[in-house]
């Protein structure tokens, strides 16, 4: 069965620091990969996605993620975080083009001003 593992449950950074959130999935075939974000008091929204093509995908608000097939990873990065990036981030996978989208447990990111 497909699964998603997010390595960091809580991350605290200062503004302008660089960010990398880890995400690994378990499935050997074709995958669609997603990062969603939930800002305080708001509903979940899509940050970026990978379906095919260039493994480095860019999303909203300066975020990017790199799909490394050999490592089964889809890590989220941002070179310089802002206080407004404080949120919970979820990695998700759809494996084999089936109907399910499975989410990780999330990473709570807190940016110190």
Partner 1 sequence: SQTIHQWPATLVQPVGSPLSLECTVEGTSNPNLYWYRQAAGRGLQLLFYSVGIGQISSEVPQNLSASRPQDRQFILSSKKLLLSDSGFYLCAWGFSSGNTIYFGEGSWLTVV
Point out which residues bind partner 1 (CB under 8 A). Answer: 6, 9, 32, 34, 36, 43-46, 49, 90, 92, 94, 97-106
| Closest distance of CB 80 from partner 1, Å | 27
Beta bridge partners of 55: none
Nearer to partner 1, 49 or 77 (CB): 49
Nearer to partner 1, 3 or 82 (CB): 3
Nearer to partner 1, 100 or 110 (CB): 100
**Distant-in-sequence contacts of 79-84, Cβ < 8 A, 24+ apart:** 79/18, 80/16, 80/17, 80/18, 81/13, 81/15, 81/16, 81/17, 81/18, 81/19, 81/109, 81/111, 82/15, 82/111, 83/15, 83/111, 83/112, 83/113, 84/111
| Closest distance of CB 51 from partner 1, Å | 8
| Closest distance of CB 20 from partner 1, Å | 19
| Lookup result for tokens 């709570």 | 108
| Closest distance of CB 101 from partner 1, Å | 6
């Amino acid at each position: 069965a497909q699964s998603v593992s997010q390595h960091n449950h809580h991350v605290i950074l200062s503004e302008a620091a660089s960010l990398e959130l880890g995400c690994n999935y378990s499935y050997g075939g074709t995958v669609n990969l997603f990062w969603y974000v939930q800002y305080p008091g708001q509903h979940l929204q899509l940050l970026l996605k990978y379906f095919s093509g260039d493994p480095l995908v860019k999303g909203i608000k300066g975020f990017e993620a790199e799909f490394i097939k050999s490592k089964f990873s889809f890590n989220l990065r941002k070179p310089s975080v802002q206080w407004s990036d404080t949120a919970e981030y979820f990695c998700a996978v759809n494996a084999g083009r089936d109907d399910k989208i499975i989410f990780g447990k999330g990473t709570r990111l807190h940016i110190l001003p």
